[in-house]
Amino acid sequence: MSYAAYKIMHWPTGISHCAAGFITHSPAEAAAFSSLGPTISGPEGDVDSAAARAPQRVCPTPNLVVVAANVLEVYAVRTDAVMGAEDGGTSSSAGAILDGISGARLELVCYYRLHGNIESMAVLSDGTENTRDSIALAFKDAKIACLEFDDSINGLRTSSMHCFEGPDWLHLKRGRESFACGPVIKADPQGRCGAALFYGLQMIILKAAQVGQSLVGEDEPTRMLSSAAVRIDSSYVIDLRLLEMNHIKDFTFVHGYIEPVLVILHEQEPTWAGRISSKNQTCMISAFSISMSLKQHPMIWSSAKLPHDAYQLLAVPPPISGILVVCANSIRYHSQSTSCSLALNSFSSQPDGSPETPKTSFHVELDAAKATWLSHDIVMFSSKNGEILLLTVVYDGRAVQRLDLMKSKASILSSGATTLGSSFFFLGSRLADSLLVQFSFGVPTSILPDLTDESADIEGDPPFAKRLKRIPSDVLQDVNSVEELSFHNNSVPNSLDSAQKISFVVRDALINVGPLKDFAYGLRTNSDPNAAGIAKQSNYELVCCSGHGKNGTLSALQQSIRPDLITEVRLDAVEVELSHDHLGPRGSRTQPPLPQTLGLPASTAHNASLLLLLSSLAAPSLAPPASGGPCAVEAGVDADGGFMASITNLQQRIA
């Protein structure tokens, strides 16, 4: 009998799903944290001043939750606020300043490797200020796990699990063993319930528990958290076949109703490419009011004769509310009282007898596009070829008048998009580096002069994306702040009411190594010819061709952390090697206790990062101290990159 053994050396990095939510903190906690006054920094030259000037969140910004196949990551957005900076796009030594923010970065909070690929993800949020959000994950074939953040372990824990598999649920499959699409899960924007689509036509309604309640047993005490999180109380199944639905394309919850309202996009009679000319209006949307106490779902309104290429629903935020139906060749707005549409190209079709549909001034296709709302009336689309489009819903206070679409700059080929608060959005990608982008409404007064060219795009200069893979992590923040990108919408809209000028700045990026087209290995440039055993493996590098199209890159992979040798000095007769941290005058950072044999007081502050106690002088180029005795050698790198070494009598230094 033969066995196959393998080890995953590099876990997935391509982002398949992304969402925003207050996972590690509630909105009230974020607001209280951002309202703290600035920390007083130490004197100039004190290295603890950097710790005192730690970046703080300037507004309630939610966490970023990303999924890469079976890897789940939660990030916190950290911003560098400029005190006293004027609004607008001024520039500083750290980078462009937008809305008083000079820089932002993603800080990893927790990281998990799961035992199955995540098919869909949603964030359960009730919209209140004192409640944290929860994460709902859907797995094949019909499994759901709800996670919440626990302060006691500083990580995620499972609050409830739901499985609709096995003999008791075999009737839901109706004889089928495989399905074209995996499970899809969505959440009500007010946190009252969630919905998951399994087995093609089985809708699972997940009822949210009230604050303080959960699915834990009576003998298991509920763990008290600093802020309660949204949890699932019960669930039941709706068979959509009984509602005369055959092919479900998408579904979502809408705003503005007392009870949760679920809108489903489905196809009544399927069509194919050979019958498009005679049968192309085959889709419709149906809105159902979900009564979780009675387990009833009456239909309250519907709209038929939608294009066959409709594939996505977007819930319009309040005060407008309603639904956007995204098609490959058109965009339509529908609500219970009004509707309007916008044709994107000449392939858009209308039902017979309907009025002529307004058209855009340019041709574009929105199939496989990803969308996220930047405000209550502006939605951003990332198309299949990387273009950024801005759609404005023109609203006069009573009804939606029209839809205006404007073309922006190019970006990455994205697999998902989500908005983080009121200043950031995230573009996830399987084919390129995922980007954290800051946006601001209005025209900045000053932008970096070399980045306002119309040929610039949201992904930055091509060398910038490639250099991110080669630079150390400690200088990644500086590179992101120096090589930023800002651009404006220079196209002229149809009306001044829909004219929106938005500035974008790339703040951070998540490195993606994939998909791999080819790879090769070889010796690195500064390899050690005398290495043997395990150390010999560090001499080799793996060079990969990754990405796709304009996002193609070359990635050099290496094992573990490889230091870069600047220079070396031979030191003999080293008796004690002591590595320590700096101790500031305020005593804010503690220092490991020094050996009593050295006779050093505990409050001694050192400025070097390495202290060597020598019994005799080892460097012949340095003169020994005249007083003799033990001496300390301090080595470092000066501001010009040169090597510096000094020898000091240890007794004189303590004095």
| DSSP structure string for 191-256 | SSEEEEEETTTEEEEEEEPPTT--S--TTSPPPP-SS-B--EEEEEEEEGGGGT--EEEEEEE-SS
Mean pLDDT along residues 353-376: 90
pLDDT given at position 527: 79
pLDDT given at position 275: 87
pLDDT given at position 222: 44
460 versus 96: which is more confidently predicted? Answer: 96
- Which range, 325-329, 629-633, 636-640, has the best average confidence (pLDDT)? 325-329
Is pLDDT of 226 > 60?
A: no
605 versus 150: which is more confidently predicted? Answer: 150
- Which range, 34-43, 75-84, 225-234, has the best average confidence (pLDDT)? 75-84
Is pLDDT of 32 > 50?
A: yes
Is pLDDT of 248 > 90?
A: yes
**Residues with Cβ within 8 Å of residue 55, at least 6 apart in sequence:** 78, 79, 80, 81, 103
Is pLDDT of 324 > 60?
A: yes
Question: Model-level pTM?
Answer: 0.76
130 versus 360: which is more confidently predicted? Answer: 360
* % of the chain at pLDDT higher than 70: 66
pLDDT given at position 132: 92
Is pLDDT of 5 > 70?
A: yes
pLDDT given at position 594: 42
pLDDT given at position 137: 96
pLDDT given at position 223: 44
pLDDT given at position 573: 57
Q: Which domains does the chain have, with CATH numbers?
A: 17-32+58-81+96-210+227-441 (2.130.10.10), 516-557 (no CATH), 574-647 (no CATH)
Q: What is the 3-state secondary structure (H, E, C) of 107-172?
A: EEEEEEECCCCCCEEEEECCCCCCCECEEEEEECCCEEEEEEEECCCCEEEEEEEEECCCHHHHHH
In 335-423 the beta strands, taken as DSSP E runs, fall at 339-343, 370-373, 378-382, 387-395, 400-410, 416-420
Is pLDDT of 277 > 60?
A: yes
pLDDT in tens, 368-412: 999 999 999 999 999 998 899 999 999 988 889 999 999 888 899
Please state which of the ranges 61-70, 163-172, 413-422, 557-566 shows the lowest mean pLDDT. Answer: 557-566
State the pLDDT confidence band at 355, using cuts at 50, 70 and 90: confident
State the pLDDT confidence band at 95, using cuts at 50, 70 and 90: low
- CA atoms 212, 215, 221, 222: torsion sign: negative
Q: What phi and psi, each to the nearest 5 degrees, are found at residue 473?
A: -70, -25
State the pLDDT confidence band at 258, using cuts at 50, 70 and 90: very high
Query: Amino acid identity of 456?
Result: A
- Which range, 75-89, 504-518, 637-651, has the best average confidence (pLDDT)? 504-518
State the pLDDT confidence band at 637, using cuts at 50, 70 and 90: very low
pLDDT given at position 276: 85
State the pLDDT confidence band at 13, using cuts at 50, 70 and 90: very high
Please state which of the ranges 376-385, 517-526, 565-574 shows the lowest mean pLDDT. Answer: 565-574
Please give the angle made by the CA atoms of 103, 107 and 111, to the nearest 5 degrees: 160
Is pLDDT of 345 > 70?
A: yes
426 versus 352: which is more confidently predicted? Answer: 426
Instruction: For the chain, give the mean pLDDT.
Output: 76
Residue 591 region, left (φ>0) first, then alpha (ψ -120 to 50), else beta? Answer: beta
Instruction: Report yes or no: 579 and 557 within 8 Å, Cβ to Cβ.
Output: no
pLDDT in tens, 448-506: 333 333 345 666 444 444 444 433 333 333 333 333 333 333 333 333 333 457 888 99
Per-residue burial over 57-91, b if 16 or more Cβ lie within 10 Å, else e, is bbbbbbbbbbbbbbbbbbbbbbbbbbeeeeebbbb
Helix, strand, coil: what percent of the chain each, to 5? 10, 40, 50
pLDDT in tens, 175-190: 888 888 899 999 999 8
